[in-house]
Amino acid sequence: MCAGASADTAKAYCDPSVPPPFPAAHAPEGDEYFADAVFIGDSSMDDVEMYNLFPTGNFVTKVGISPLSASRREFRYAGSRELESMFDVVAKYPHKKIYILLGANSLDNKPSDQAMADYQTMMETFLERFPDSIFYLIVPPAMTQRVLEHLFISPKRFANFRDMLISFAEERQCYIIDFYSLLLNEKGYLPGKYDCGDGVHPNYDGLKLLENEIRTHTVAAPLRFTFIYP
């Protein structure tokens, strides 16, 4: 049974028929699947919205945020001028599926274990607030060799974060979208063909790979089970 289940009224943030963390590949889902999805993230997710890759989805993004700062910053619900927490804004959208692309803005200045500790703290709030939602955790891609060498960062920092995120997803019954592995050369860096030009952000071709990965790795909406005893 998925995490969050209880003997009386079970709540699940995964599909019990699809064991986390990796959904099997299938034919691409259409836009209707994402009408009750919320996409959360930093500038890379902001670009996904800008390119209109998921036109029916809802977005809660802000350039430069990390898991730590995202939990402290304020956001706007579409059409509103009121500033609210990320969690409160997400709650206002249909949110049966929640996609999260965060972590890159931690890994440029923190070791992978510290970045993961911030991510886990954020996720505990998400899982508590939205126990009936499916969570897809998107592993952030690495940066180019030029940028990581300039910052004196080993590419292993991103690889280690990926491994930690997969372990967390398996433990907490969330799903993984492995964007990191999609955009990776043999040395562990972001390849030039997927670099938007700054060595940090994926270009349109890279984001189209992410779109396809998301559309072809989905599960059914979670169910609430009620056990009735005679």
The pLDDT value given to residue 86:
98
The pLDDT value given to residue 225:
38
pLDDT band, very low/low/confident/very high, at 13 (cuts 50, 70, 90): low
Tell me the per-residue pLDDT of 48-90, one tens digit each, with 9 for 90 and over: 999 999 999 999 999 999 999 999 999 999 999 999 999 999 9
The pLDDT value given to residue 11:
46
For the chain, the average pLDDT equals 91
Tell me the per-residue pLDDT of 105-119, one tens digit each, with 9 for 90 and over: 999 999 999 999 999
Mean pLDDT of 14-28: 91
Q: Contacts by 222-226 with C-beta closer than 8 Å and gap 24+?
A: 222/2, 222/11, 222/12, 222/13, 222/14, 222/15, 222/96, 222/132, 222/133, 222/134, 223/12, 223/16, 224/9, 224/10, 224/11, 224/12, 224/132, 225/5, 225/9, 225/10, 225/12, 226/8, 226/9
Q: What is the DSSP string of 183-225?
A: S--TTSS--GGGB-SSSSSB-HHHHHHHHHHHHTS--PPP--E
d(CA 10, CA 41): 29
d(CA 208, CA 210): 5
pLDDT band, very low/low/confident/very high, at 227 (cuts 50, 70, 90): very low
d(CA 65, CA 55): 23
pLDDT at 1 over 60: no
Q: In the block, which residue shows the tokens 């180019």?
A: 144
For the chain, the distance separating the N- and C-terminal CA atoms, rounded to the nearest angstrom, is 22
Mean pLDDT of 175-201: 97
Correct CATH for 9-143+158-182+205-226 of 3.40.50, 3.30.110, 3.10.590, 1.10.530: 3.40.50
Q: Is the dihedral angle over the CA atoms 170, 172, 173, 179 positive or is it negative?
A: negative
d(CA 41, CA 179): 13
Would you tell me the crossing angle of helices 43-50 and 204-215 to the nearest 10 degrees? 80
The pLDDT value given to residue 17:
85
pLDDT at 222 over 90: no
Closest Cα to residue 20, out of 179, 174, 180, 216? 174
The pLDDT value given to residue 192:
96
The pLDDT value given to residue 16:
82
The pLDDT value given to residue 50:
98
The pLDDT value given to residue 41:
98
pTM of the model: 0.91
